[in-house]
Amino acid sequence: MIKATHKRLERINEMIAPHSEVLVLGCETCTGICLVGGEKEVARMAANLRLLNRKNGGKKTFTEGVVRRQCEMEFLDGAASLINDADAVVSLACGVGMQAIAEHFPNMPVYPGNNTAFLGLSPELGLFSERCVACGDCLIDRTGGLCPIARCAKHLFNGPCGGSVAGKCEVSPDVPCIWQMIVDRMMRLGQLSKLEDIKGIRNWKTNDAVGPRAYIREDLRSTPPKLDSVVMKPVAPKGGAA
């Protein structure tokens, strides 16, 4: 899931300087789950903004709201009156949710309360770790189910670099070398020989080489959609994948 962190309070305060009625709007999906977007976080953020504002002698008011998923227009419609009553929205969603507000409410300023961090998981309480870069052409079938693009500091796709020492990445002693993990795991799975297959050059078109990406589920549509991004098709196996 998308993981995010709060922006610094001072930074948010600067953004909303021109506004007097500010809505702090949370999201109960990804950022809710990573503990920066739920109802309670909204309350904490709003309370802290109020305290800072009072401290600075400001007269701003802060309202609070939360939607199931800020990235869905239908859910945003449900919060329309709350949004329209404000001068500005501080969104505690991810960048997607924030932009959904910007798109759906053309005249409403929206400011990020969060920094969208990565796609990842929470392996234990209070820890969030990156696992995926959404490259658009998943190749972990070749790497024992572990992604070297997301988890290798150099995004190496054909084995470890010389910085892999005793199973650790040279970037930090806390970070395991993903290639060591890939090799260990493929040995356990009896798939190590797969690493000897020659892989062609990866087509990075699906990643970010074409501009904003879109894809279409033709089976759900009778008319072509109004496009705002480059439609991605399955990648031709120039090098082999897709």
Q: Residues in the site for another protein, rule: CB under 8 A?
A: 8-10, 28-29, 32-35, 38-41, 43-44, 47-52, 55-56, 66, 122, 124-125
For another protein, the closer of residues 68 and 185 by Cβ is 68
Identify whether the C-beta of residue 181 lies closer than 8 Å to the C-beta of residue 152.
no
- Comparing CA positions, the residue from 1, 232, 2, 216 lying closest to residue 95 is 2
Q: How far is the CB of 201 from another protein (least distance, A)?
A: 40
For another protein, the closer of residues 47 and 80 by Cβ is 47
Q: How far is the CB of 202 from another protein (least distance, A)?
A: 35
- Comparing CA positions, the residue from 92, 134, 116, 148 lying closest to residue 2 is 116
**Distance between CA atoms of 149 and 161, rounded to whole angstroms?**
13
Find residue 66's DSSP bridge partners.
26
For another protein, the closer of residues 28 and 203 by Cβ is 28
For another protein, the closer of residues 24 and 182 by Cβ is 24
Q: How far is the CB of 20 from another protein (least distance, A)?
A: 18
Q: What is the amino acid identity at position 147?
A: C
Q: How far is the CB of 12 from another protein (least distance, A)?
A: 10
How does 24-39 read in b/e, with b if 16+ C-beta sit within 10 Å?
bbbbbbbbbbbbbbbe
Tell me the CA distances in angstroms from 9 to 12, 81, 237, one per residue in order: 5, 26, 48
Hey, what are 102's tokens?
A: 């910007």
**Distance between CA atoms of 186 and 146, rounded to whole angstroms?**
10
For another protein, the closer of residues 49 and 178 by Cβ is 49
**Distance between CA atoms of 168 and 172, rounded to whole angstroms?**
8
For another protein, the closer of residues 127 and 220 by Cβ is 127
Q: How far is the CB of 32 from another protein (least distance, A)?
A: 5
Q: How far is the CB of 232 from another protein (least distance, A)?
A: 30
